[in-house]
Amino acid sequence: MTKVTMSAIAREAGVGVATVDRVLNQRAPVRGATEQRVLAAASRLGYRHAQSRLLHPGAPPTATLRMGFLLLSTDYSLYRQLSEALREQAMPHHPAGVEPLFVTHGIDEVEQAAQSLRALATRVDVIGVVALDHPLIRHAIQAVSRQGVRVYALFSDFSPCGQAGYIGVDNQKAGRTAAWMAQHLLRRPGSVGVLLGDHRFTCQESCEISFRSGMREYGASQRVLEPLNTRESVEGGYRAAQALLDGHADLQLIYAPCGGIEGVVRALREQAQRGVMLVCHGPVQEGELALIDGSITLMLRHNIETMAAAVVQLCTERQSERDARYEQVILPFEIITRENM
């Protein structure tokens, strides 16, 4: 059976994906006429819950799934926002009185993350994971997948280990987009810094490789430096940016497809007279202010709410399928400057 996506329903109904999500998952009020149009479009495409809602208006969505999430601690950039969005999206799909489970770990707590994954698998049907591509974690994913618990990589995929799929942006496109922008921003020879959260995040590795490839292809005269790590933390971002600024008098731009951007912004503000540009990934706490004052030149921003909706949609739609095929859900990223916020 062909999967019915929210995007397909949105096109059929002539509305936005967010409106479809609000109607199907009853997250917020929608005008009656719009709701009926969305439900009718979904029903025509074969979305079974919509057919039930048309016959029984006001009925709550069917709750049949227990979801768990293994994420980095909310001390790291954006993970509090991601946790809240995932909870909001997942709650309607749980049995009454049951909530989605969240377990967090530090970026270096690989053994703890692997143990938490195994423990979580005894309590839920499906797990979304943000973690390093480490052998211990891959071994745990393989083990719980064999038990019938589907594991989806969020933001950063893993080397093949039985995971059910990946949900995130196309990191090759993101890295090459950053290179394209850098090539248009830079006007004189110099150095370009790269910051990563950790080399074992495959998403960031792909961004760095693609950025370097793009800079070579565009014939940029700038030298791309070896990456430094932020450890996904604000303090780590500050220290890494300071090291770039102190170690390279000809630094022109920093590309940072990672967490800890708030610390990078602080370091750049302290040496604002240098005029070093920052192309980073987001969202970033108080990122709009940093764009306005020029501390961030350009942001490639993930839409956290859209991602959370896509995660829950994939988990619920795939759970009734018996095959174990790997599936990718590639989400768009927004290109944000101070002028288009």
- Cα(222)–Cα(188) distance, rounded to whole angstroms? 8
Residue 283: its pLDDT value, please?
95
Residue 340 lies inside a defined structural domain of this protein: no
Residue 62 lies inside a defined structural domain of this protein: no
Residue 56: its pLDDT value, please?
44
The model's pLDDT over 72-107, given as tens digits with 9 standing for 90+, comes to 998 887 899 999 999 999 988 887 778 999 999 999
**Beta carbons of 122 and 147 less than 8 angstroms apart:** no
- Cα(221)–Cα(214) distance, rounded to whole angstroms? 12
DSSP 217: H
Residue 1 lies inside a defined structural domain of this protein: no
Rg (CA), the chain: 21
The model's pLDDT over 112-123, given as tens digits with 9 standing for 90+, comes to 999 999 999 999
Q: Which helix (H) or strand (E) holds 140?
A: helix 135-146
Give the HSE-up count for residue 145: Cα atoms under 13 Å, Cβ half-sphere. 21
- Cα(139)–Cα(60) distance, rounded to whole angstroms? 38
Residue 215: its pLDDT value, please?
95
Residue 216 C-alpha from the chain's centroid: 27
Residue 239 lies inside a defined structural domain of this protein: yes
Residue 339 lies inside a defined structural domain of this protein: no
In this structure, the answer to whether residues 103 and 251 fall within a common structural domain is no
In this structure, the answer to whether residues 298 and 176 fall within a common structural domain is yes
Helices 6-13 and 32-44, axial angle in degrees (round to 10): 120
The pairing of beta strand 165-169 with beta strand 327-331: parallel
In this structure, the answer to whether residues 178 and 263 fall within a common structural domain is yes
Residue 318: its pLDDT value, please?
77
What is the residue range of 243's domain? 171-302
Q: Which residue has the tokens 């933390």?
A: 233
Q: End-to-end CA distance of the chain: give it in Å, rounded.
A: 40
Residue 180 lies inside a defined structural domain of this protein: yes
Residue 338 lies inside a defined structural domain of this protein: no
In this structure, the answer to whether residues 180 and 217 fall within a common structural domain is yes
- Cα(313)–Cα(306) distance, rounded to whole angstroms? 10
CATH of the domain at 246: 3.40.50.2300
CATH of the domain at 45: 1.10.260
In this structure, the answer to whether residues 218 and 259 fall within a common structural domain is yes
- Cα(181)–Cα(162) distance, rounded to whole angstroms? 36
In this structure, the answer to whether residues 246 and 175 fall within a common structural domain is yes
Number of domains the chain contains:
3
In this structure, the answer to whether residues 193 and 131 fall within a common structural domain is no
| Closest by Cα among 319, 332, 330, 331 to 3 | 319
In this structure, the answer to whether residues 123 and 80 fall within a common structural domain is yes
Residue 128: its pLDDT value, please?
97
Residue 3: its pLDDT value, please?
61
- Cα(280)–Cα(297) distance, rounded to whole angstroms? 8
Neighbours of 320 (CB within 10 A): 10
Does residue 170 sit in helix, strand or coil? Answer: coil
Residue 48: its pLDDT value, please?
55
In this structure, the answer to whether residues 325 and 238 fall within a common structural domain is no
In this structure, the answer to whether residues 195 and 296 fall within a common structural domain is yes
In this structure, the answer to whether residues 152 and 255 fall within a common structural domain is no
Sign of CA dihedral 53, 57, 60, 64: negative
Residue 27: its pLDDT value, please?
54
Residue 182 lies inside a defined structural domain of this protein: yes
Based on the number of CB atoms within 10 Å of its own CB, is 288 exposed (0-12), middle (13-18) or buried (19 or more)? middle
Answering whether pTM is above 0.85, one says: no
pLDDT < 50: residue spans in the chain = 1, 51-56, 59-63
In this structure, the answer to whether residues 280 and 159 fall within a common structural domain is no
**Beta carbons of 42 and 17 less than 8 angstroms apart:** no
DSSP 21-79: HHHHHT-S---HHHHHHHHHHHHHTT-HHHHHHHHSTTPPPP----EEEEEE-TTSTTH
Residue 1: its pLDDT value, please?
42
